[in-house]
Structure 1
Amino acid sequence: MAKPKIRFKGYTNDWEQRKLGDIYGSIGNAFVGTATPYYAEHGHFYLESNNVKDGQINHNAEIFINDEFYEKQKDKWLHTGDMVMVQSGHVGHAAVIPEELDNTAAHALIMFRNPKEEIEPYFLNYEYQTDKAKKQIENITTGNTIKHILASDMQEFVVDIPKYEEQKVIASYFCNFDHLITLHQRKCDQAKKLKKYMLQKMFPKNNGSVPEIRFEGFSNDWEQRKLGELYKKSSEKNDGSISMDRNITVATMQFKEDVKVSTEDYLKTYYTFNIGDIAFEGHQSKEYRFGRFVENDIGNGIVSHIFAVFRPIVDYDLQFWKYAINNESLMQRVLSRSTKASTMMHDLVTDDFLEQKFLVPSVKEQERIGMFLSNLDNLITLHQKKCDQLKNLKKFMLQNMFV
Structure 2
Amino acid sequence: MSEKNVPNVRFEGFSESWEQRKLSNLFKVQSRQVKLEDSESYQLVTVKRRNGGIVSRGMFLGQQILVKSQYRVLSGDFLISKRQVVHGATGIVPKKLDGAVVSNEYLVLRGNNLLNTDFFRIVSERPEMYKLYFLSSYGIDIEKLVFNVKTWMKKSILLPNTIEQSKIETLVCKIDFLIASNQHKLDQLKEVKKLLMQKIFDQEWRFEGFTDPWEQRQLGKIVDERKERSSQGELLSVTMHDGIKKSSTLGKKDNSSDNKSNYKVVCQGDIAYNSMRMWQGASGLSMFNGIVSPAYTVLKIGTSIDGSFLSYLFKRSEMIWMFRTHSQGLTSDTWNLKYPALSKIKIEYPILNEQIRISTFLKNFDQLIASNQQKLDQLKELKKWFMQNMFV
Could you tell me the TM-score, scaled by structure 1's length?
A: 0.83
Distance in 2, Cα, partners of 1:330 & 1:262: 32
Deviation at 1:125, TM superposition (A): 0.9
Match of 2:223 among 208, 212, 231: 231
Q: Secondary structure at the match of 2:115?
A: coil
Out of 321, 325, 329, the residue aligned to residue 341 of structure 1 is: 329
SS at match of 2:183: helix
Tell me which residue corresponds to 1:76. Answer: 71
Q: CA deviation at 1:293?
A: 5.7
Report the alpha carbon displacement of residue 152 of structure 1 after superposing the two structures with TM: 1.9
Cross-structure match for 2:362: 373
**Distance in 1 (alpha carbons) for counterparts of 2:289 and 2:283:** 14
**Could you list the runs of 5+ residues in structure 1 that have no partner in the other structure?**
32-37, 205-210
Query: 2:131 corresponds to which residue?
Result: 135
Q: Match of 2:308?
A: 319
Give per-residue Cα distances to partners, 1:282-315, cap 9 Å, x unaligned: 446xxx7x45461333311111112222211224
Task: Indicate how the Cα distance of structure 1 residues 363 and 293 shifts in structure 2: closer, same or farther if over 3 A, else same.
Answer: farther
More deviation, 249-258/213-222? 249-258
Q: Distance in 2 between matches of 1:133 and 1:331?
A: 43
> 1:86 maps to which residue?
81
Whether the 8 Å CA contact 1:227–1:356 is kept in 2: the answer is: yes
Deviations 1:234-293, CA, capped at 9 Å, x for gaps: 21111x332xx4333454522114524554xx3110111122322343446xxx7x4546
Q: Counterpart of 1:295 in 2: which secondary structure?
A: strand
Give secondary structure in 2 for the equivalent of 1:224.
strand
Report the counterpart of residue 271 of structure 1 in structure 2.
Answer: 264
Matched, 1:56 2:53: yes
1:102 is the counterpart of 2:93: no
Q: In 2, distance between residues paired with 1:29 and 1:111?
A: 9
- Residue matched to 2:214: 222
1:342-392 alpha-carbon deviations (Å, 9 max, x no partner): 341322253343233211112221122112222222222222222222222
Measured after TM superposition, the shift of residue 189 of structure 1 is 0.6
Query: Which residue, 177, 180, 184 being the options, matches 1:179?
Result: 177
AA at the equivalent of 1:215: F
Q: How many angstroms does 1:75 deviate by?
A: 6.9
Contact 2:270–2:307 (Cα < 8 Å) also in 1: no
Report if aligned partners of 1:84, 1:110 keep a CA contact under 8 Å in 2.
Answer: yes
Q: Any conservation in 2 of the 1:15–1:160 contact (CA below 8 Å)?
A: yes
Distance change in 2, residues 1:30/1:203 (3 Å): farther
**How many matched pairs?**
374
**1:18 alignment partner, one of 6, 21, 24:** 21
In 2, Cα distance between the equivalents of 1:186 and 1:200? 21
Query: Partner residue of 1:165?
Result: 163
Alignment of 1:348-363 (within 5 A): 348-363=337-352
Contact conserved, 1:52 with 1:86, CA < 8 A, in 2?
no
Aligned partner of 1:256: which letter?
A: S
The answer to whether the Cα contact below 8 Å between 1:188 and 1:379 also exists between their aligned partners in 2 is no
1:50-99 deviation line (CA, Å, top 9, x unaligned): x243263356xx45532456799797211111111232245244211111
Q: Which amino acid aligns with 1:342?
A: L
Work out the CA distance in 1 between the residues paired with 2:284 and 2:67.
Answer: 59
| Contact 2:266 2:291 (8 Å CA) reproduced | yes
Partner of 1:155: 153
Taking structure 1 as reference, are residues 13 and 73 closer, same or farther at Cα in structure 2, changes over 3 Å only?
farther
Structure 1 residues 73 and 103, CA gap change in structure 2 (3 angstroms) = farther
Aligned CA distance change for structure 1 residues 70 and 293 (closer, same or farther; 3 Å): closer
Quick check: 2:77–2:109 contact (8 Å CA) kept in 1?
A: yes
Structure 2 vs 1, CA of residues 262 and 215 (structure 1 numbering), >3 Å: closer, same or farther?
A: closer
Contact 2:280/2:320 (CA < 8 Å) preserved in 1? no
**Separation in structure 2 between the aligned mates of residue 175 and residue 278 of structure 1, nearest angstrom:** 44
Q: Does the CA contact (< 8 Å) of 1:56 and 1:95 recur in 2?
A: yes
| CA distance, structure 2, for counterparts of residue 137 and residue 237 of structure 1 | 55
Task: Compute the displacement of 1:398 (Å).
Answer: 1.3
Q: 1:359 to 1:293 in 2, by over 3 A?
A: farther
In 2: Cα distance, 1:123 partner to 1:173 partner:
10
Distance 1:250 1:384 in 2: 18
Residues of 2 paired with 1:373 and 1:278: CA distance? 17
The CA distance in 2 between the partners of 1:293 and 1:401, in whole Å, is 42
In structure 2, relative to structure 1, the CA distance for the partners of 1:75 and 1:164 (3 Å cut) is farther
Cα 1:130–1:295, aligned 2, differ >3 Å: closer, same or farther?
closer
Look up the match of 2:191: 193
SS at match of 1:46: strand
1:281 aligns with 2:284: no
Contact 1:27–1:151 (CA<8 Å) still a contact in 2?
no
SS across alignment from 1:347: coil
**Fraction of identical pairs, as percent:** 26
RMSD: 3.0
Write out aligned runs for 1:103-118 (5 A). Answer: 103-107=99-103, 108-113=105-110, 115-117=111-113
Q: Is the 8 A contact 2:5 2:18 kept in 1?
A: yes
Amino acid at match of 1:312: I
Q: Deviations over 1:158-217 (max 9, x none)?
A: 22222222211111111101001101111111111111122221112xxxxxx1122222
